A and B are shown apart, each in its own frame.
Chain A
Amino acid sequence: MRWAIPAAVVPVLVLLAYGFRTDPREIPSPLLGRPAAAFSLTTFAGSPLSLEDLRGKVVMLNFWASWCVPACYEEAPALERTWRAYKDKGVMVVGVDVQDKEEAAREFLRRFDHSFPNAPDPRGRVSVDYGVYGVPETFFIDRKGRVRFKHVGALTDEIARRHLDALLKEPS
């Protein structure tokens, strides 16, 4: 009987341990399965960039910022590696720079030697359309132009590869 006191603690601890399996920040995006919002931006290099032109390709749309320490810095090399590995397979990687100072953003791109198109989002309109909550966030858009996956936080090669391979396997 006396051991009922310590024993009563156990279920509470089990429940809390269960909590690790869940992620309260993982809010499912209502955009999943919906057509991705159109955008047209001008890249840092000065060329036009619109989602419309990328139809038929699998698009990995990454929202980042130079002030986003450390997650954006962690994922930056993985983005470039993914781009190099997939650019000939019908994948487009697009970076959208959110609420940033232009100089700092250019410095960031130089540091990581990003060769895929990156554009500032001057009035934050694209990030609002995609319901970006914080940076980095990455959206995977299929060939038909629908948002299929959303990744919150730093992207890794494995996660990018998994989503891209899945989307590339689908018939166009």
Chain B
Amino acid sequence: MIPELGYGATVAAFVLALWGAVAAVASARTGRAALLRSGERAAVGAWALVTACIALMLYAFLTFDFSVQYVAVNTNRGTPFYYRITALWGALEGSIVLWSWMLSIYTLIVVVQYRRRQPELYPWVLSVMLGILAFFLLVMTIPAPPFERLTPIPADGRGLNPLLQDSGMITHPVALYLGFTGFTVPFAFAMAALIVGRTGEEWITITRRWTIIAWYFLSLGLLIGGWWSYHVLGWGGYWAWDPVENAAFMPFLTATAFLHSVMVQERRRMLKLWNLSLIILTFGLTIFGTFLTRSGIIGSVHSFTQGSIGVFFLAFLALVLLGSFSLLASRVERLRAEGVLDSVVSRESTFLLNNLFLVAATFTVFFGTVFPLLSEAVRGVKISVGAPFFNLVNIPVFLALLFLMGVGPLIAWRRASAKNLKRNFLKPVVAGLVAAAALRALGVANGLVLTTMALVVFVAGTIALDLFRAVRARRRSGDDWGAATWGLLLRQNRRYGGFIVHLGILVIALGVAGSQAWSVQKEVTLDKGQSTELAGYHVRFDGLSASEESNHGKVTGAFTVTNGRAGGHMLYPAKKFYPQEQSPIAAVDYQLGWIEDIYLVLGDFAPDGSHATVKLQVNRMVSWLWLGGLVLTLGAALAILPDARRPA
């Protein structure tokens, strides 16, 4: 029953979305309000039907309805309750359902928020959003039907990919997709502005806020993905420049570029063409990312399905890029800058440089990601470029971006005077250099760490100095320190939200540099009772135990870890044996700390428990990444708040 109901709902939602897109355009052309209302009702209907699809799918998972092929492949009777829900987006078909659902929700929000406020842009925005929704529903109808019926009905299913049976998989895809789909809103507004020919400032204001929201979810998705990689995959890292990671990173870079360059447009009426291009590029990259992940044209650890879905996505990508860039090209005259760049030493040019670096980083990541294809097409050999390439090219770029992060917010618009420069930057520059020199004196010889440290202290110094001055100014009007700071944060939430996001990035940068430079590891085979030592930790192998879990068998090693100071504690890395997998899955155990994590991965072992191989890692400062993510969240939340200075 469920397959038929689900398929019916999918097709109906597709028809409604398509009708809504057409009706909205027709209403914009003819001015007939009834058509627009019909388009809105179609949007609501499509949302209700996609919601029904989600509900049906959940019901099928919770009742083990193996007549739905997707359920049979991604769950079995042993799958815990928790993961029967996340199995919903554990594979291709379900993740497209989730995508469509989020898109339909964003569409609904747009309807509620803008139907009265933006009468001119709104019909086009609605049409673009519903058109994109229709595409995803078409994918659900033809190449990736989630409700495909399985006959005969098997007694049990295959089970969810064990690597996805982790709490990170509840939040990571949701956050990532909220980010990906969120970029549809700015894209729709950009298209509407181009079509209507109103390329002034209002679409920019709307778009900026939506971009921050999508940007924030995407950042969160990337960080949770890093956390998943760190504590599930068992290699002790959080980022591998894998094609799928890159696919999510590229729109993050271009969106970051947009969030900065948009300020130049707001303030100086420049860079209009550029900003529109960034919006198109960001949205295009989200589709490209999905294409890359889902078409299987490039091998990746996130190996997903192949099939005709790739063709659908490529056709859609072509339509989006060619259509929107052609539209942009046809409107070039309207997009001329009204302001001019007065001086190289100005905030405009700092932001331009920041954009240049971010786009260069995007390009290198893109180039590295498609390189295997390129080399196969040109030379007939499949060659992948690995982390060394990405690091070599991107580390200098990211360091330069850190530097600009300190300069950009405080340098004067138009033309910075020597006095402006000295007042804002002298002390932070000195602080950065002193910090690096102090670290050097303490024996830190790693150039990357020293440079990062100098830059981080410099940027933090500029922020602290600015905040200190602003708070001091408010105190003169009688507030105490707390009230003054709080009032400032709320009153200039956009500025200080941005600063707090910057602080979060600084903390992340320290985490990356520290973990790259200082983490150590070794792999040893220990007899029962034998100990080994790494970076001051003594690790003793106490034996193995076997257990049978609901959907897998498990062999657990017991290790006592002591580090001289405190008493020992136990760590239990394990190997899980899932019947549906060829090779066992490592279950890492670790103890996290602010300075360092001790991280154990169980390798081969003797069946009688007499000896076992274990990989020990002492990973330094990795926790700073997660801390930075928290700071970033606070900053983004502050920046998203409605602007207190003018009515929204």
By a beta-carbon cutoff of 8 Å, the part of chain A in contact with chain B is 2-3, 5-6, 9-10, 13, 15-20, 22-25, 65, 67-70, 98-101, 104, 107, 111, 124, 127, 132-134
Contact = CB atoms under 8 A, between A and B. Distances in A.
Main secondary structure of the interface of B (DSSP, over half): helix
A141 B98 CA distance: 45
Given A6-B325, A67-B579, A69-B154, A13 B318 contact: yes
Given A16-B370, A69-B73, 20 more contacts: A2-B329, A5-B329, A6-B325, A6-B326, A9-B318, A9-B322, A13-B314, A15-B374, A16-B317, A18-B373, A20-B295, A20-B314, A22-B297, A22-B376, A23-B296, A25-B303, A67-B156, A67-B579, A70-B150, A101-B579
Contacts of A25: 296, 299, 303, 306
Contacts of B158: 67-69
A9 B321 contact: yes
24 contacts: A2-B330, A5-B277, A5-B328, A6-B322, A6-B325, A6-B328, A9-B321, A13-B318, A16-B314, A17-B314, A18-B373, A19-B297, A23-B306, A24-B299, A25-B296, A67-B156, A67-B158, A67-B579, A67-B580, A68-B158, A68-B580, A70-B69, A70-B150, A111-B152
A102 B369 CA distance: 43
Contacts of A104: 155-156
Which of A20, A69, A99 counts the most chain B CB atoms within 10 A?
Answer: A69
Given A5-B277, A99-B579, A19 B73 contact: no
Contact of A18 (B76, B277, B317, B377): B377
Contacts of A65: 580
B73 A20 contact: no
A70 B73 contact: yes
Contacts of B311: 20
A100 B579 contact: yes
Contacts, number: 98
A146 to B, nearest CB: 25
A135 B203 CA distance: 52
Contact of B377 (A13, A15, A67, A68): A15
B321 A6 contact: yes
Interface of B: 69, 72-73, 76, 150, 152, 154-159, 277, 291, 295-299, 303, 306, 310-311, 314, 317-318, 321-322, 325-326, 328-330, 332, 370, 372-374, 376-377, 382, 579-582
Contacts of A99: 579-582
Contacts of B156: 67, 104
Contacts of B317: 13, 16
A16 B298 CA distance: 10
Contact of B295 (A15, A19, A124): A19
A56 B566 CA distance: 69
Contacts of B377: 15, 18
B297 to A, nearest CB: 3
B582 A69 contact: no
B582 A133 contact: yes
A6 B330 CA distance: 10
A5 to B, nearest CB: 5
Contacts of B581: 99
User: Which 10 residue pairs across A and B have the least CB separation, nearest first?
Assistant: A19-B297, A24-B299, A6-B325, A2-B329, A9-B321, A6-B326, A5-B325, A2-B332, A67-B580, A69-B158
B152 to A, nearest CB: 8
A16 B314 CA distance: 8
B322 A69 contact: no
